[in-house]
Amino acid sequence: MSMNRLSESAALTLLQRSKTRYKRDIKINYEPAAQDCRTCLTPGACCTDAHFVNVHITWLEAVAMRETLNRTPRLDDAARNRIYMRARATVERYGLRVTHTETNFRQTFACPLFEPNVGCVVHARAKPAPCIQHACYENWEDLPPVEMQWRTEHNIEALNTRVYQTAWAWLSVPVWLMLVDPHGDQTELARLETMWRTGRASWDEHGNVAYRRRTERRRLPVFYRA
Stretch near ligand SF4 under the rule CB under 6 A, chosen from 35-43, 94-102, 151-159, 182-190: 35-43
φ/ψ region of 207 (left if φ > 0, alpha if ψ in -120 to 50, else beta) reads left
Nearer to ligand SF4, 83 or 210 (CB): 83
Amino acid letter, 166: T
> Between residue 182 and residue 221, which ones bind ligand SF4 under the rule CB under 6 A?
none
Contact call for residue 35 and ligand SF4 (CB under 6 A):
yes
Which are the contacts of 3, defined by CB distance < 8 A and separation ≥ 6? Answer: 158, 161, 162, 207
Nearer to ligand SF4, 128 or 167 (CB): 128
Contact call for residue 64 and ligand SF4 (CB under 6 A):
no
Amino acid letter, 34: A
Beta bridge partners, 172, equal 56
CB 178 within 8 A of CB 84: yes
Q: How far is the CB of 150 from ligand SF4 (least distance, A)?
A: 18
CA distance linking residue 190 with residue 196, whole number of Å = 10
Stretch near ligand SF4 under the rule CB under 6 A, chosen from 13-21, 36-44, 159-167, 177-185: 36-44
When computed from its CA atoms, the radius of gyration of the chain, rounded to whole angstroms, is 17
Stretch near ligand SF4 under the rule CB under 6 A, chosen from 25-33, 113-121, 183-191, 204-212: 113-121
Binding-site size for ligand SF4 (CB under 6 A) equals 22
Q: How far is the CB of 162 from ligand SF4 (least distance, A)?
A: 24
